[in-house]
Amino acid sequence: MGITEGSDELTWTKLQLTAESSAFVLLAHYSRVMPPAGGKRYLTSTAVFLVEVVKLAISLTMALYDVSKTAPPSMPATSLFFSLTSAVFSGDSWKLAIPASLEVLSNSLLYIALSNLQAATFQVTFQLKFLATAVFGLMLLRRSIPARKWGLLLLLVVGVALVQMPDVSSEQILKDDANRHFPRSLEEWKAAKQASGLQKRSATYEGIEEDLSTADPHLNPTIGLLATIGASVASGLASTYFEKVLKDSSKHISLWVRNVQLAVYSVFPALFIGVVFRDGEKIAEDGFFQGYNWAVWSAIVIQGLGGIASAFYASHAQKDARSLATTTNIILTTVASVWLFDFEVNASFIFGSAAVLVATHYYGNPTYNHGIRPPPIRIDAYEKDAAGPEGSPVAPPNEISIKLPTTPFLSDGISSSRPASPAAGHTRVSSSRNASATGYFDEK
Is 213 in the same domain as 286? no
Is 137 in the same domain as 99? yes
Q: How many residues does the chain have?
A: 444
Domain membership of residue 389 (yes or no) is no
Q: Round the average pLDDT of the chain to a whole number and report it.
A: 75
Percent of the chain with pLDDT over 90: 40
Residue 393's SS3 state is strand
Q: How confident is the model at residue 381 (pLDDT cuts 50, 70, 90)?
A: very low
Is 325 in the same domain as 195? no
Is 260 in the same domain as 406? no
| pLDDT above 50: residue 60 | yes
Is 292 in the same domain as 431? no
Q: How confident is the model at residue 306 (pLDDT cuts 50, 70, 90)?
A: confident
Are the C-beta atoms of 215 and 32 separated by less than 8 Å?
Answer: no
Domain membership of residue 227 (yes or no) is yes
Residues 248-265: pLDDT tens digits? 887 777 888 888 999 999
pLDDT at 240: 92
Is 131 in the same domain as 246? yes
| pLDDT above 90: residue 9 | no
Mean pLDDT over 411-433 rounds to: 46
Residues 268-292: pLDDT tens digits? 999 999 999 999 999 999 999 999 9
Percent of the chain with pLDDT over 70: 64
Please tell me the distance from the alpha carbon of residue 48 to that of residue 61, in angstroms, as a whole number. Answer: 20
Is 80 in the same domain as 160? yes
pLDDT at 237: 95
Is 252 in the same domain as 358? yes
Q: Give how far the C-alpha of residue 25 lies from the chain's centroid of Cα atoms, to the nearest Å.
A: 15
Domain membership of residue 154 (yes or no) is yes
Alpha-carbon distances, residue 106 vs 95, 110, 151, 188, 417 (angstroms): 18, 6, 26, 41, 75
- Of 384 and 222, more confident: 222
Q: Which of 10-24, 194-208, 238-252 has the lowest mean pLDDT?
A: 194-208
Is 203 in the same domain as 248? no
pLDDT at 377: 54
Environment class of 136 (CB within 10 Å of its CB; exposed 0-12, middle 13-18, buried 19+): buried
Domain membership of residue 67 (yes or no) is yes
Domain membership of residue 173 (yes or no) is no
- Domain boundary residue among 336, 354, 370? 370
pLDDT at 167: 61
Are the C-beta atoms of 377 and 371 separated by less than 8 Å?
Answer: no
Is 224 in the same domain as 186? no
Is 203 in the same domain as 290? no
- Domain boundary residue among 354, 370, 386? 370
402 φ, ψ (degrees, to nearest 5): -100, 120
- Of 379 and 130, more confident: 130
Is 33 in the same domain as 144? yes
pLDDT at 8: 53
| pLDDT above 90: residue 294 | yes
Domain membership of residue 195 (yes or no) is yes
Please tell me the distance from the alpha carbon of residue 360 to that of residue 324, in angstroms, as a whole number. Answer: 8
pLDDT at 4: 39
| pLDDT above 80: residue 99 | yes
17-21, 191-195, 296-300, 433-437 — most confident range: 296-300
Q: Which of 26-40, 96-110, 269-283 has the lowest mean pLDDT?
A: 26-40
- Provide DSSP, 103-145: HHHHHHHHHHHHHHS-HHHHHHHGGGHHHHHHHHHHHHS----
Range of the domain at 434: 394-417+425-442
Mean pLDDT over 369-396 rounds to: 50
pLDDT at 439: 43
pLDDT at 332: 92
Domain membership of residue 88 (yes or no) is yes
Give the number of domains in the chain.
Answer: 3
Q: How confident is the model at residue 64 (pLDDT cuts 50, 70, 90)?
A: confident
pLDDT at 40: 84
pLDDT at 366: 61
Residues 118-156: pLDDT tens digits? 999 999 999 999 999 999 999 999 888 899 999 999 999
Domain membership of residue 172 (yes or no) is no
Q: Which of 10-19, 24-33, 47-56, 408-417 has the lowest mean pLDDT?
A: 408-417
pLDDT at 327: 83
Q: How confident is the model at residue 18 (pLDDT cuts 50, 70, 90)?
A: confident
Residues 161-181: pLDDT tens digits? 999 987 655 444 444 444 444
pLDDT at 139: 93
Are the C-beta atoms of 95 and 89 separated by less than 8 Å?
Answer: no
pTM of the entire predicted model: 0.72
| pLDDT above 70: residue 391 | no
| pLDDT above 90: residue 88 | no
pLDDT at 378: 54
